């Protein structure tokens, strides 16, 4: 018997919803989730958090509007269990209690402000299930968010060996360094140096350089891959498990950083809410590939959302609305 669940991931830049049917346990470990709805809204919850330490009232309101819409869909689809995880921005904010109160009033479920380690493990679970057989392990899973980037190393059968979260997300790096339109060479150099220090620390903490396959998650990665593949529209089916070389990632990164925001907005696969931060996200990907010695990245459309959904398989109703 299947169980219908809803997973919500509220990050620094976006809030996303997955409604899916979990397979019956008797179907075995290879049985997939069955998607009923996947949605994403750019709400920029982490607007200014790096500088002020607080969530802006207008950012909380943007998130409330999106969450109210998700709550209505959850009700309509007859979801049995709900889990919402809030990540980097709400971990860092002084006024996180305001955010939590809004979520409980809107959704009827308290948000879990997960640790960077838990965020990484959920992302790994979502990404690794369903990887093609020709993607050998161990895996380095790179989840580039708005406020932070997670580095996770593990195997398909053994799970996570090591994980670490670093504060080098696309929003945070843009707000900290990339102020020009397009950013100047000195701004790009400063961002690259900042990212490189964090990446080297992460790769020392987890054995990322020993991984056989790099798996990239989230909007920065999938957008770069869509551009690299020459897609004329955002097509998740073509992006999922696409493999792109380091050289091509470097080319796309340089092109994005040389463009104005208006030029990036004109790219067919570009989400309007990502145009101002995609240069930083691409730079995180490129530097991570370079420092880890990875010749290619495999993109995954399955990520922390899928991991949250899978976590509900053993929840025993703990998150029931």
Q: What is the dihedral of CA 69, 73, 74, 79, to 10 degrees?
A: 180
pLDDT tens per residue, the chain (321 residues)?
A: 778 999 999 987 789 999 999 887 665 555 678 889 999 898 988 887 777 888 888 999 999 999 999 999 999 999 999 999 987 566 667 888 888 899 999 999 999 888 777 877 888 888 888 788 888 989 999 999 888 898 999 988 778 899 988 989 998 999 999 999 999 999 999 999 999 999 999 999 999 999 999 999 988 999 999 999 999 999 988 999 999 999 999 999 999 999 999 999 999 999 998 999 999 999 999 999 999 999 999 999 888 899 999 888 865 544 444
For strand 159-166 and strand 213-217, is the pairing parallel, antiparallel, or unpaired?
Answer: unpaired
Would you state the pLDDT for residue 273? 85
Domain ranges of the chain: 3-116, 131-300
pLDDT given at position 194: 95
Among candidate residues 37, 46, 47, the one with its CA nearest the CA of residue 16: 37
Does the domain made of 3-116 have the CATH classification 3.30.420.40? yes
Tell me whether the CATH fold assigned to 3-116 matches the one assigned to 131-300.
yes
CB neighbour class for 183 (10 Å; exposed up to 12, middle 13-18, buried from 19): buried
pLDDT of residue 130: 78
Query: How far does CA 195 lie from the centroid of its chain?
Result: 17
Question: Which residues face 38 on adjacent strands?
Answer: 18
Alpha-carbon separation of residue 136 from 70, 94, 297 (angstroms): 37, 42, 12
Task: Count other C-beta atoms under 10 Å from residue 29's C-beta.
Answer: 8
pLDDT of residue 91: 66
Q: What top-level class would CATH report for the domain 131-300?
A: alpha beta
């Amino acid at each position: 018997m299947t169980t219908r669940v809803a997973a919500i991931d509220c990050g620094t830049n976006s809030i996303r919803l997955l409604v899916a049917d979990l397979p019956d346990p008797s179907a075995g470990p290879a049985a997939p989730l069955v998607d009923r709805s996947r949605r994403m809204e750019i709400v920029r919850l982490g607007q200014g958090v790096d500088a002020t330490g607080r969530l802006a009232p207008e950012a909380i309101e943007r998130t409330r509007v999106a969450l109210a819409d998700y709550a209505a869909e959850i009700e309509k689809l007859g979801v049995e269990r709900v889990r919402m995880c809030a990540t980097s921005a709400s971990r860092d904010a002084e006024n996180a209690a305001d955010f939590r109160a809004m979520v409980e009033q809107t959704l009827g479920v308290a948000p879990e402000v997960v640790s960077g380690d838990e965020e990484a493990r959920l992302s790994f679970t979502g990404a690794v299930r369903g990887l093609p057989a020709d993607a050998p392990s161990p895996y380095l899973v790179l989840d580039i968010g708005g406020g932070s980037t997670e580095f996770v190393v593990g195997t398909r059968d053994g799970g996570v060996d090591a994980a670490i979260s670093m504060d080098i997300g696309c929003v945070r790096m843009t707000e900290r360094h990339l102020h020009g339109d397009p950013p100047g060479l000195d701004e790009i150099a400063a961002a690259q140096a900042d990212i490189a220090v964090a990446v080297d620390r992460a790769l020392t903490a987890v054995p990322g350089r020993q991984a056989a396959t790099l798996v990239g998650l989230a909007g920065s990665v999938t957008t770069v891959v869509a551009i690299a593949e020459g897609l004329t529209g955002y097509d998740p089916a073509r992006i999922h498990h696409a493999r792109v070389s380091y050289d091509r990632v470097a080319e796309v990164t340089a092109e994005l950083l040389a463009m104005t925001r208006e030029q990036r907005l004109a790219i067919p696969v570009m989400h309007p809410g990502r145009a101002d931060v995609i240069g930083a996200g691409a730079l995180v990907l490129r530097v991570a590939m370079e420092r880890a010695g990875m010749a290619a990245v495999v993109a995954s459309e399955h990520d922390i959302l899928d991991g949250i959904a899978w976590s509900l398989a053993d929840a025993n109703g703990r998150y029931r609305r």
